[in-house]
Copies of this chain bind each other. A is one copy, B any other.
Amino acid sequence: MEVKKIFLPESELPRQWYNVLPDLPTPMEPPLHPGTGQPVGPDDLAPIFPMALIEQEVSQERNIDIPEEVLEQYLLWRPTPLYRAYSLEKYLDTPAKIYFKNEGVSPPGSHKPNTAMAQAYYNKIAGTKRICTETGAGQWGSALAFCCALFGLECKVYMVKISYDQKPYRRMMMETWGANCVASPSTETKAGQTILERNPDSPGSLGIAISEAVEAAVTGENSKYSLGSVLNHVLLHQTVNGLECQKQMAIAGDYPDVIIGCAGGGSNFAGHALPFVRDKINGKEIDIIAVEPTSCPTMTKGPFAYDFGDTVQMTPFLPMHTLGHNFVPEPIHAGGLRYHGMAPIVSQLILSNIVRPVAVPQLETFQAGVTFARTEGFISAPETDHAVAIVIREAIKAKEEGKEKIILFNWSGHGLVDMAAYEAYLSGQLSDHALPEDEIKKALKDIAPFPKPQQYTG
């Protein structure tokens, strides 16, 4: 029998995260204070993040130690297995070899606890009592709830309303782990109240929910805020994934020609890809693909510009691909991919032609997900299906080209709490939402015109 899964022993769990900042071909633009236009300093962020995370956000150290307490908790599910997708290969009749990293084995079923555990830990030792956050499809909120439970912290989650309604199971998961979860926009914050006055039926968005969580953290007693994606330190923590993959691919005796991950805020994709980005910067030829939905085409249609991370303009200006901070995408089922912006690190790598963004329509993603479920057995999260769709495209291309390509992708989570989405697809209720050009133009008007980052290409 051929080896199907490559496990690493616990002793091979990476002891350090990889920080890409010192290796970037062009330096990052700093986040700017929206009032002064000046780079944001540690003091500006201190009200919302513990200092250890602020330091990681700007660190130029290439390798950053993972605290012992975080390593111990990682062992609950890490190292995660790397799979060879023999059945999918056979079904597609492709010469490509397809590998996938199974991040679905974590207790909440996704990659998100990689950073949630680290953030909960740093908050714990800084004396935080309560962490506030937002969540889209609920993957992030459930992951943070899980990690807060293990470290004995309170957890408050603002969940995008459309997902709160569509995905009650993730809310129930949060509550089982002891968190308090409300639909966003909520009446609990001024930010939420403002949105609801404008549009009582707002389906919500990650931008809105971020505003609420930040407000709750700043105004609440002994509370801090936690972000599940976008920021440098979040991507940093996720690199434990890619670092494991590098060891596992070495055991498999293969090196990827193509790396694929879905990207909402960018941390899932980056955590998988960044260690390989380092190799690419050092000369390796790899096609590194970040996949987004056509209904929220941040990377493929949004310019690289300074914009707010949230809707109510409480965050610093971040240099990133953005569709404008007021952009609210169609209520597609991949709730985690509905963010108007993209991680500055990922945005910068796109500008530098190191990462190639691709947009894929909703129906193709579910078709891919069903194919994957009926060949490899695992039912993917709708977000993950975006990666699966491009894997299938690339495997078919490899067949057409007659090339034995090595494809590696990040199977970022299972979809067992997203089954309503599959039912909607199987019963023909879903459609594609390619965003019309005029709507994109309209959305882009909201991007703050001042100041432009140096690499502005819009």
Q: Which residues of A contact B (CB under 8 A)?
A: 1, 3-5, 7, 9-10, 68, 71-72, 75-77, 87, 105, 107, 109, 146, 149-150, 168-169, 172-173, 175-178, 369-370, 373-379, 416-417, 419-420, 422-423, 426
Contacts and interface: CB of A to CB of B under 8 A. Distances in A.
A87 B76 CA distance: 10
A405 B377 CA distance: 38
Contacts of A71: 1
Contacts of A172: 419-420, 422-423, 426
Interface centre among A3, A75, A149 (most CB of B within 10 A): A75
A377 B76 contact: yes
B426 A68 contact: no
Given A10-B4, A377-B150, A173 B419 contact: yes
Given A72-B1, A416-B109, A175 B377 contact: no
B1 A173 contact: no
A114 to B, nearest CB: 14
B76 A373 contact: no
Contact of A379 (B3, B107, B370, B376): B107
A146 to B, nearest CB: 6
Contact of A422 (B4, B77, B175): B175
Given A5-B10, A175-B423, A178-B374, 9 more contacts: A4-B72, A5-B75, A76-B376, A107-B377, A109-B416, A149-B377, A150-B374, A169-B420, A172-B422
Nearest to A373: B176
Contacts of A72: 1, 4
Nearest to A8: B7
Contacts of A369: 176
A416 B419 contact: no
A422 B87 CA distance: 36
Contacts of A423: 168, 172, 175
B3 A168 contact: no
Nearest to A87: B150
Given A10-B4, A75-B4, A176 B107 contact: no
A9 B3 CA distance: 9
Contacts of A4: 10, 72, 75-76
Contacts of A177: 373-374, 379
Nearest to A415: B176
A68 B1 contact: yes
14 contacts: A1-B10, A1-B68, A4-B10, A107-B378, A107-B379, A149-B373, A172-B420, A173-B379, A173-B416, A175-B423, A175-B426, A177-B374, A416-B417, A417-B417
